């Protein structure tokens, strides 16, 4: 089962968008070195608008593993 997440169309999945020096929204196109890269407000920097069941399960499993690792480290102290 593969990933079927819905990528953010605003930032093309990068999680960031450009604004010109004057504050004009540029999207994913940088026009010059003064353009500012900012977190995409549509996806809050995730690059994904909707996570699929497969990725949601993986993230939940990773979170459980991280919590268990933290508990083991705390028990060692």
pLDDT at 50: 95
Say how far residue 25 (Cα) sits from the centre of its chain: 20
CB 17 within 8 A of CB 38: yes
- Two tokens, residue 52: 């699929």
pLDDT tens profile 6-62: 999 999 999 999 999 889 999 998 888 888 999 999 999 999 999 999 999 999 999
Confidence tier at 2 by pLDDT (50, 70, 90): confident
| Mean pLDDT within 59-71 | 96
Q: What pLDDT does 18 receive?
A: 94
pTM reported for the whole predicted model? 0.66
pLDDT for 1:
59
Burial class from Cβ neighbours inside 10 Å (0-12, 13-18, 19+) for residue 11 reads buried
Exposed/middle/buried for residue 8 (C-beta within 10 Å: 0-12, 13-18, 19+)? buried
């Amino acid at each position: 089962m593969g990933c079927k997440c819905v990528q953010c169309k605003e930032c093309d999945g990068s999680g960031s968008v450009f604004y010109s020096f004057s504050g004009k929204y540029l999207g994913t196109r940088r026009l010059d070195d003064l353009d500012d890269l900012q977190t995409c407000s549509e996806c809050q920097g995730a690059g994904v608008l909707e996570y699929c069941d497969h990725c949601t399960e993986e993230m939940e499993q990773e979170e459980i593993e991280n919590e268990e690792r933290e508990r083991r480290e705390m028990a060692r102290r």
